[in-house]
Structure 1
């Protein structure tokens, strides 16, 4: 058992979520103890294995044609894993059902170059159907770096486009010195029952980021909320932001990749952990109001808890880690979890799909 697995299991035991068992393998984690959402996941397997590309950020939706459409990020394999920040484009693929192979359809949003706010990358797609139109929230940047990452919104009347591209970002970063002065990214959207439009976003403080350069983790990623009266904005940031902040736990605990939805009675969140339990797992949280969130429990386990895969290539440093959780709803209920994972037959990264039981 390595240090990460030990700390992960210890945290579950301390929270009353797992009984201590000596000597069991990581593949047994998924069936042990009451770990909630993580144990509801049944692996379907890798999808969107594309020769010559890394694939990331898989956001699914059921179309009026009964097919499953996924909007995903990709970038050339020659750029290595770091290519997402300066050479990513957003694409569209379709499958006959959630467990079937996906067929590539088209590139939807590519970097525009020049002086555009999304000149150098288009990433983090998050697809929603709102007010009779398809809304593709995404992140773009203008200099190939993190400090110009901004959230935008493209819209279309059909999942096949054409997509109306925004001239300006939907949400800007905060003023210098604010907790969110570095960027706005990783969007998650909910239309509130009261008619408001709620946009959750990730950010961090530039000063913290600069002081932490050279360390394994830079800055401290937190989530904020911005609210609008109309879909296209303006979005006004909640005065009590950030709504989720794990920095008080110490050890630079943080999180990212939040996917938020509203069930019958509560807001729910899946996200990637960065130091609460372990960097290799997900978080699941609930909230009565979308602002005050309960303590997290495991949202998903490391990939090796569900399937056995070949050893990691030396250049894939996130191998076995599931990121960018996005939920597919069927008949209004969470039915499948789409994630991104390094590996696959081309040694890059792919989608990895789970059924939610």
Structure 2
């Protein structure tokens, strides 16, 4: 075989290999999204209403709670709602959607909002009495973003849709921090709820991984897919699932700096929604400093992470069925009197 033919074959193989990877994403910084004086605002999950207004659902708690650390997120958190005429803001605080009830329904956190089949679904996590080992996932549903919100019919009376499994044949049976960080999609007629667990890693240690539960109805009941959807060799955190061009994607924090520093994120791709191979994963975004510059953050307060601004809790707003805006949380704040907040980015895919 001639050298030119070999070269052509290698180029074609490279092209085919690259085409199977997640699409590259262009990210443009817009500015601050949800913030609230005297509060930590962590993550902002966006959706548009029938009038085109953008609503954000975010975890929030007082900066006076546990002021020397960030532990208020699992002790005194609630879910707040913000609204704007534009996806780019400014956003106005509306009020509390899910209050902290303490006890067995403690500290609702990490909300993600979806609009499936003409109904809104709000998924989030709670724990029992500040104990992270008891984390579970709750689903509320509503016909209007202003409520009333009701527990999903296929869950428990309080809306609990997923607890840690008691089945030793399911991938996260060994989870040490329950189940958390839900993300819901509809794909090929099924409803898939992705979730995180911290599971045992052989021969020792633990690893952050994701799995999925599946239902025929958006309100459940849901059934475990017995195997995890991500690989042990590439841990992740805060994954947000979505569909694009007949594939399923997840955007997550690059938890261990697999493809760059730990302040950025990853874009995962799956052909069936049940397996996200590490080799198809690409870098999605960088830390906040990459977009705003070191000078902008020189006097910033870091409530969580380094001063370069780790960006976490990726959530995407779709407009005309296309991903248009990305919302990310950071523990770095430049505005006096405010805690952590979220930032908005304009995005497009090649």
Q: 2:270 aligns with which of 267, 287, 294?
A: 287
Q: Does 1:231 align with 2:218?
A: yes
Q: 1:158 aligns with which of 131, 144, 165?
A: 144
In 2: Cα distance, 1:84 partner to 1:72 partner: 12
Q: Which has a greater percent of strand?
A: 2
Aligned residues between the structures: 305
Q: 1:63 aligns with which of 49, 60, 70?
A: 49
In 1: Cα distance, 2:268 partner to 2:37 partner: 36
CA spacing shift, 1:316–1:199, aligned 2, 3 Å: closer
Q: Does 1:255 align with 2:255?
A: no
In 1: Cα distance, 2:194 partner to 2:282 partner: 20
Q: Does 1:310 align with 2:297?
A: yes
Residue 198 of structure 2 aligns with which residue? 204
Q: Which has a greater percent of helix?
A: 1
In 2: Cα distance, 1:315 partner to 1:189 partner: 29
Asked if 1 retains the 8 angstrom alpha-carbon contact of 2:80 and 2:96, the reply is: yes
Residue 189 of structure 1 aligns with which residue? 184
Q: Give 1:257 shift.
A: 0.7
Q: Give 1:146 shift.
A: 1.5
Residue 144 of structure 1 aligns with which residue? 130
Which consecutive aligned stretches of 4+ in structure 1 deviate over 4 angstroms post-superposition? 176-179
In 1: Cα distance, 2:179 partner to 2:110 partner: 11
Tell me which structure has the larger Cα radius of gyration: 2
Structure 2: stretches of 5+ with no match in the other structure? 1-13, 15-21, 152-156
Q: Give 1:307 shift.
A: 0.8
Q: Give 1:176 shift.
A: 7.6
Residue 173 of structure 1 aligns with which residue? 164
What's the RMSD between the two structures over aligned residues?
A: 2.2
- TM-score norm. by structure 2 comes to 0.81
Q: Does 1:85 align with 2:74?
A: yes
Residue 269 of structure 1 aligns with which residue? 250
In 1: Cα distance, 2:235 partner to 2:84 partner: 35
Q: 1:333 aligns with which of 316, 319, 322?
A: 322
Asked if 2 retains the 8 angstrom alpha-carbon contact of 1:124 and 1:139, the reply is: yes
Q: Give 1:318 shift.
A: 4.2
Q: Does 1:112 align with 2:101?
A: yes
In 1: Cα distance, 2:191 partner to 2:320 partner: 22
Structure 1: stretches of 5+ with no match in the other structure? 1-15, 17-34, 213-218
CA deviations over 1:310-336 (Å, ceiling 9, x no partner): 234365434410000000000110000
